[in-house]
Copies of this chain bind each other. A is one copy, B any other.
Amino acid sequence: MNTKTAVPIRQRRKEARPQELLDAALELFVEKGFAATRSEEVAARAGVAKGTLYLYFPSKEDLLKAVVRENLAGLIAEGATIAGAFEGSTHELLVLLMKTWWERVGNTPASGIFKIIITEMGNFPDFARFYVQEVIEPGRDLFSRVLQRGIDSGELRQVNIFETVHVLIFPMLMLCLHKHSLGACAGIGPIMDPPSFIETHVDVVVRGLLVREDAQAAEPAAARKGGKRG
């Protein structure tokens, strides 16, 4: 019965090849940069010969595109699901989203993708569009909805949502970049504990967004934008 479903090793490996190559490529592109990574190295790390790489990906550039798409697909959907089902405070939701994101992305090899994106986006305009549509915009929208939810419920102040979303997201991205640049240089500088940093980050920012009674905080950010504070 299960003999039918049993896949021969040969075939299993065949099907697994692209993924093994993508994993190897991700590691190397993150470690050494795209240009500095030789295609032969990718093949070697995936345990295949140079030529085999080209059976699955027509060029090194296409390999890069596949690596990025592969690792970013479905990145946002999960967050959206969490946010849609959540019933607690917005503060708690943000803490949950960030922790989840760290577990699923920041703390995995996929975190290196952001480094690649920063570096190579300029060289792949069509990929830039993909990234904006598939990652940036959905991500932005997710956090925008969460912030709006908090404002609507009276938990958070009226703020410039677009900018505030980036105040929330940017440090998370920098955490990933740091991990793969300075953080990869063993023994340099003090080490930061990501979960602890994330906690502090979310705590500080959410506090800065809470509705407060004192006059200083009552003034909406949007109104303040135009003139100087007295």
With A33-B35, A119-B119, A137-B189 as known contacts, state yes or no: A167 contacts B201, CB within 8 Å. Answer: yes
B-contacting 9-mer, from A8-16, A67-75, A97-105, A214-222: A214-222
A200 and B122 form a contact (CB under 8 A): no
With A170-B175, A213-B214 as known contacts, state yes or no: A159 contacts B121, CB within 8 Å. Answer: no
What's the Cα separation between A121 and B213 when bound, in Å? Answer: 46
Query: Which of chain B's residues has its CB closest to A35's CB?
Result: B35
The secondary-structure label for the interface of chain A is helix
Q: How far is the CB of A73 from chain B (nearest CB, A)?
A: 19
For A121, give its contact among B122, B181, B210 (CB under 8 Å): B181
User: Interface residues of A toward B: which range?
Assistant: 35 or more
Query: A187-218 toward B: CB 8 Å interface, digit per residue (1/0)?
Result: 01110100011011101111111101110110
- Can you list 25 A-B pairs with a CB-CB distance of less than 8 A? A33-B35, A33-B119, A33-B120, A35-B35, A115-B118, A115-B119, A118-B119, A118-B177, A119-B181, A121-B181, A121-B184, A136-B182, A162-B190, A162-B192, A163-B192, A163-B196, A163-B197, A163-B200, A164-B200, A166-B171, A167-B171, A167-B200, A204-B221, A205-B208, A207-B208
